[in-house]
Amino acid sequence: MNMKALILVGGFGTRLRPLTLSRPKPLVEFANKPLVLHMIEALVDAGVSHVVLAVSYRAEQMEQELRQEAEKLGVQITFSLETEPLGTAGPLALARDILASNDEPFFVLNSDIICNFPFRDMVSFHRNHGKEGTIVVTKVEEPSKYGVVCYDERGRIERFVEKPQEFVSNKINAGLYIFNTSILDRIQLRPTSIEKEIFPVMAEDGNLFSFELQGFWMDVGQPKDFLTGMCMYLTSLKTKDPSLLYKGDGVASGVMVDPTARIGKNCKIGPNVTIGPDVIIEDGVRIKRATVMRGAHIKSHSWIENSIVGWRCVVGRWVRMENVTVLGEDVIVQDEIYVNGGIVLPHKSIAASVSEPRIIM
Amino acid sequence: MLKAVILIGGPQKGTRFRPLSLQVPKPLFPVAGRPVIQHHIEACAAVAGLREVLILGAYPAQELQQFAAEMAARYGVAVRYLQEYAALGTAGGLYQFRDQIRAGGPDAFFVLNGDVCGDFRLDRLLAFHRERPADALLTVMATEATRQQSVNFGCIAEDRATHAVLHYAEKPETFVSTLINTGIYICSSDIFQQIGTVFKRKQEEIYSADFEEGPPSETISLEVDILAPLAGSGRVFVYQTSRWWSQIKTASAALYSNRHYLKLYRENGAPLAEDGKPCTIIGDVWIHPTATIHPTAVLGPNVSVGRNAEVGEGVRVRESIVLGGARIREHSLVLHSILGWDSVVGAWSRIEGTPCDPDPNKPFAKMDNVPLFNGDGKLNPSITILGCNVNVASEKIVLNCIILPHKDLVRSYKNEILL
């Protein structure tokens, strides 16, 4: 179909530190696959042949790795580098030549989003109403924490309300859009906010429609939400593609384990756990609601809940980790240590317990 | 012939040892597998010519009498419990039971405070006392403390040549001496004359006092009413020891003493656990023969495991006392804690305290008796104590908590006292 997509990757991914100190955010593995690949694979599946990543800093590593993936998927991936901050709309102007290279509508996507990407349905919905733009919306429990979207029965957006004091709507902007190329005439190459400057104008002339997302949705740009998103994703796999989930002794439902990982005896893994490649888990380990990245080593009798163990970490015996503890790459936690909400930067060795949440540099 | 008197006070005393002392009188609390005062009795029984040990206290008789009978059978000396009718003070009890103490005409008798621990070399104290002039009334065993901590104890100024006590001040406000009273004495029978004089004087004060102000104290303190006034008289002496000594007033002190007594056992060739039997053993560990230990557990250093306790698969215990009947389920970690009788720790749980040991870098530093709460009203971190029959669910952490008996913990707790 030759469609295009622009993925807004942005900058250094500081909210997902310490993980993003070692890898660019799009490449951080979510459920054992680089985060941005979840989106790219779904885009290719929906007929996108060219993906542009809008970045604000060069990451050769990212370009190299994604080049290989691009070849495998048969899609073209280019990088659009902004040399000064362009906001959420500016990058569209920067990538104008690619996005307007044909007349097909193009996707614009926030790179931190995880959900059951409805790209094909978005296209049909968009063509159906025939107007300039479609925003995916999703239902949330606490709409006043965000900006909400108000629309009529056909989906035509009437207005946006930031942090409403009273209930007006429980739908928020899900960060996934599809636009006709004509939108590019509205955007100049300068710092512009698409939500504040472009959308309200489009809504006023009835040119913006909302597409209701079904199923789970999460912005996984920070550790707490990364873990919540992981739980939602694994739960969705139980019905969508249970073959991806692990079945074995000592492992609950909703657990993903790379085939090269090894799990010892008398462990209790899960629910809601992802175990990456080459991970070694020794005997008597209990892991719940956690991500264990490639090459990590968890020693016997340890207990891990609600945490992220970074690449190549070594967690000692009888360790207890909880409360959104995040270990950066190559962190060593000594035997018998307790880490409660510790954010640990790469290459640290933890020899003393952290009983209250803090950052360990 | 010699005797010994162990002063153990009553339930009104030793409240800082709660909740452990809610279950069992503090003097009977097991440290390194043996009741606190059993260590005293063992030291007394080792003195040649010592025939009888009298335990003086205000606790109800039954438990102490039973204990006394067991001790007599074990050590081959007479052991009796004498119950005071009221708290009479460290010398008041001695006076009340002077007839029992003097029965049989002992040449001298030891007096030992029940709430101290240490490597009591009573034979050396005895030899030292015998070398003093014939009219010596009392020799007190003393040890060195830091200048700062000394004011928390009884301070002794010593004549270096004769070892006579020149001056004695109990918990002075300003510095007197780094030489402190260990609560261990040896007395000649003539001391009862001194005590009698003080007793009569106090009785006169009581009966001539203004009753509207409430009756004055009947107690006679060995330190304040006997020792201090006799300082400088040439009849009271001090014997300085450099062996390990500590007070045991708080539960943290119980762990500290546990460690030191285990070390003493090792030095004296008493049976400690060997590595591999039945599990990995690090350092000094004492395990009651009826305890069940999984071979993959790792115990020590400085652990005592009581009668019929159970330690499950992959459990790690360090610097802790596990009392009788306690059960620790698989993969758990117990650290700087005391697990009460019949308590249960669920699988993958973490029971952890914070030790309050004396600074090992300061020679002669003693345990600080840290108050329960700090100036801001927050609980000072200390060792974790599970009272008897406490049940901790699996996968929880209990950190710096004191849990009273019979509680069921279904979630994690930190820095709390649970009533």
Look at residue A179 and tell me whether its pLDDT is greater than 80: yes
Contacts of residues A24-30 at CB distance under 8 Å and 24 or more positions apart, as own/partner, are: A24/A59, A24/A61, A24/A62, A25/A111, A25/A112, A25/A221, A26/A53, A26/A62, A26/A66, A26/A111, A27/A61, A27/A62, A27/A65, A27/A66, A29/A276, A29/A291, A29/A293, A29/A294, A30/A114, A30/A220, A30/A226, A30/A229, A30/A230, A30/A233
Look at residue A288 and tell me whether its pLDDT is greater than 70: yes
ipTM: 0.82
- Reduced DSSP (H G I as helix, E B as strand, rest coil) percent helix, strand, coil of chain B, to 5: 25, 30, 45
In a mutational test of the A interface, the residue from B331, B332, B415 whose CB has the highest number of chain A CBs within 10 Å is: B331
A124-155: pLDDT as tens digits: 999 999 999 999 999 998 887 778 999 999 99
Q: How far is CA A351 from CA A339, A348, B307, B337, B369, in A?
A: 10, 10, 34, 20, 28
Q: Which of A283, A322, A336 sits opposite B333 (nearest CB)?
A: A336
In a mutational test of the B interface, the residue from A318, A321, A333, A335 whose CB has the highest number of chain B CBs within 10 Å is: A318
Q: Which of B259, B246, B402, B263 is nearest to B339 (CA)?
A: B402
- Strand B285-287 and strand B280-281: the pairing is unpaired
List CB contacts (< 8 A) between A305 and chain B.
395
Which two tokens mark A179? 């636009």
Q: Catalytic residue among A33, A145, A163, A240, which? A: A163
Residue B212's pLDDT is 58
Residue A180's pLDDT is 96
In a mutational test of the B interface, the residue from A282, A283, A300, A301 whose CB has the highest number of chain B CBs within 10 Å is: A301
Residues 73-102 of A with CB under 8 A from B: none
Look at residue A254 and tell me whether its pLDDT is greater than 70: yes
Residue B209's pLDDT is 64
Mean pLDDT computed over every residue of chain A? 94
> Catalytic annotation on A163?
yes
Look at residue A186 and tell me whether its pLDDT is greater than 70: yes
> How far is the C-alpha of A222 from the C-alpha of A165, rounded, in Å?
26
How would residue A167 be classed by pLDDT, with cut points 50, 70 and 90?
confident
User: pTM (2 decimals)?
Assistant: 0.87
* pLDDT string in tens for chain B (419-residue length): 999 999 998 887 777 888 888 888 999 999 999 999 999 999 999 999 999 999 999 999 998 999 999 999 999 999 999 999 887 888 989 999 999 999 999 999 999 999 999 999 999 999 999 999 999 999 999 999 998 889 999 999 999 999 999 999 999 988 899 999 999 999 998 999 989 998 888 888 777 766 556 556 778 889 989 999 999 899 999 999 999 999 998 888 999 999 999 999 999 888 788 887 789 999 999 999 999 999 999 998 999 999 999 999 999 999 999 999 999 999 999 999 999 999 999 999 999 999 888 877 777 788 877 777 888 888 888 899 999 999 999 999 999 999 999 999 999 999 999 98
> In degrees, to the nearest 5, what angle opens at C-alpha A72 toward C-alphas A236 and A290?
35
Residue B210's pLDDT is 62
Q: Is A17 on the interface with B (CB under 8 A)?
A: no
A75-92: pLDDT as tens digits: 999 999 988 889 899 999
Which residues, other chains included, contact B122 with Cβ-Cβ below 8 Å and sequence gap of 6+?
B4, B43, B44, B46, B47, B110, B184, B186
List CB contacts (< 8 A) between A322 and chain B.
397
Q: Is A320 on the interface with B (CB under 8 A)?
A: yes
Nearest Cα residue in chain B from A285: B331
> How far is the C-alpha of B214 from the C-alpha of B217, rounded, in Å?
9
Look at residue A232 and tell me whether its pLDDT is greater than 90: yes
List CB contacts (< 8 A) between A318 and chain B.
316, 331, 333
Contact assignment for A320 to B350 by CB distance below 8 Å: yes
- Strand A113-115 and strand A217-219: the pairing is antiparallel
Residue B213's pLDDT is 61
